[in-house]
Amino acid sequence: MGEEVEVEVVVENKQVILRDYINSGVPKETDMILSTCSLYLFRLRMRSPHSFTSRHVPSFTPASQPIVGYGVAKVLDSGNPNFKVGDYVWGVTEWADYALIHEPNSLFKIKYTDVPLSYYAGVLGMPGMTAYVGFNELCSPKEGERVFVSAASGAVGQLVGQFAKLMSCYVVGTAGSNQKVDLLKNKFGYDEAFNYKEEQDLDAALKRYFPQGIDIYFENVGGKMLDAVLPNMRMNGRISACGMISQYNLEKPEGVHNLMEIIVKRIHIFGFIVSDHYHLYPKFLELTKQYIKEGKITYVEDVAQGLESAPAALVGLFSGRNIGKQVVVVAHE
């Protein structure tokens, strides 16, 4: 075994920290604080690969540890032979200028840099994988099937619709503003789209766009939307459930009343966590990268500049303020 030599480097590190737990209601900017601390980076030299020990990343503590989430980063130093200085990676990291990653298994080395690096926080990262797995792998779409997507202009929904069109499906999406509806139809190729906030009767709206029923529903919303969808599903329909954003901030989740439709129509509901399917990432990456290169997939990002803008960007997600995938640029290098 080689001798381990450490050179200590100290950097000033900005990070976003949760002030306290949020047990109910929508997060506010004041629930988060921007903190600056000193971080000690250790340059490790001649370390044996066998000396590296992975540890589970502990849950963050309010007023202490930074918030974590998916991001793109550059490796400044590494004690892991799988990651070298200068590599770009995507995966779970901290909301901070610098982060010490204790669980490298949660990181993916970036293979292609001829696309914007921010794509690995979106179309070529977790949101893209979520769309691909939930739609292509779990729902097994067939040409001509009728597909409905809720929260269709978001990071995941905009891709589900495009994957569906590439399978020659009929696709309808819903969003929370007329601007987003126009985006769905004119940018992402949706056949139809509607603003759910302008619909007094969601069941009637779905019957208007799906007179013959829905084969596949990509679920991002839950609550009243799911309740309206179930009676409009076709026999042997499939529902891929990756999120239910309408329920996240409720003290008491809304009930769903039309569950009998699942039995009568033999509906298959797939609840999934995308990380369970990361073994499919190489397949997804090659397919989606080619689609981007050929201009068959387009992607829209809503970019906020600077770590200090992260709290406002997060809060904006719950009111639908963002257009496309919300990205926060912490550094340009």
Look at strands 68-74 and 233-241 and give their pairing.
Answer: unpaired
Topology of domain 4-122+299-329 in CATH is Quinone Oxidoreductase; Chain A, domain 1 (3.90.180)
Q: Is the pLDDT of residue 41 over 70?
A: no
pLDDT class of 63 with cuts at 50, 70, 90:
low
Contact residues for 286 (Cβ-Cβ < 8 A; gap 6+):
none
Q: Is the pLDDT of residue 299 over 90?
A: yes
pLDDT winner (highest mean) among 15-29, 138-152, 302-316: 138-152
Q: How far is CA 150 from the centre of its chain?
A: 14
Indicate the SS3 state at residue 219. Answer: strand
Which architecture does CATH list for 126-275? 3-Layer(aba) Sandwich (3.40)
pTM of the predicted model, to two decimals? 0.84
Percent of the residues in the chain that have a pLDDT greater than 90, as a whole number: 62
Q: Where are the domains of the chain?
A: 4-122+299-329, 126-275
Residue-wise pLDDT for 181-220, tens only, equals 999 999 999 999 999 999 999 999 999 999 999 999 999 9
If phi > 0 it is left, if psi is from -120 to 50 it is alpha, else beta; for residue 24 that is beta
Output phi, psi for 55, to 5 deg.
Answer: -130, 150
